[in-house]
Amino acid sequence: MKPQTNVLFRPVGQEELELIRSSGFKEFPPRLAGQAIFYPVINEEYARQIAEQWNAKRTASGRGYVTHFQVRKQFLDNYEVKTVGSSIHQEYWIPAAALVECNRNIVGQIEVIAEFGDQVNV
């Protein structure tokens, strides 16, 4: 029986994407010091906004990417969706200490579905 999953999105910069790639597109890297929360979002439009307006403009690489992945619903049921702006600005707040467990609950691979920066908009 196939597990029930929720589709999530995660905007990332070049450095984080390289760490995801090194995992075989199976997991997100540990949070950096001072980053207590992992913020996957539930809306592709919101993820694109962050990747284009933050990652591509405010990171050293000048690149932003949107990843797409599925997480077991049973894991996500432990967390509530937070709205942090308009109705499309919805995300999960998963404590950094729970990221390993979150990664274990990813079904399939993490996929890059959009890229921003240096004249690229996919």
As a whole number of angstroms, the distance between CA 120 and CA 110 comes to 20
As a whole number of angstroms, the distance between CA 9 and CA 20 comes to 14
Q: Mark out the alpha helices in 1-66 (DSSP H runs).
A: 14-22, 44-50, 56-58
Nearest Cα neighbor of 10 from 85, 80, 94, 86 is: 94
pTM exceeds 0.85: yes
Q: State pLDDT tens for residues 76-103.
A: 999 999 999 999 999 999 999 999 999 9
Looking up tokens 């240096």 gives 118
Domains of the chain listed by start with CATH number: 5-121 (3.20.170)
64-72 and 5-13: which strand pairing? antiparallel
**Which residues pair with residue 90 across a beta bridge?**
83
Q: State pLDDT tens for residues 49-72.
A: 999 998 888 777 889 999 999 999
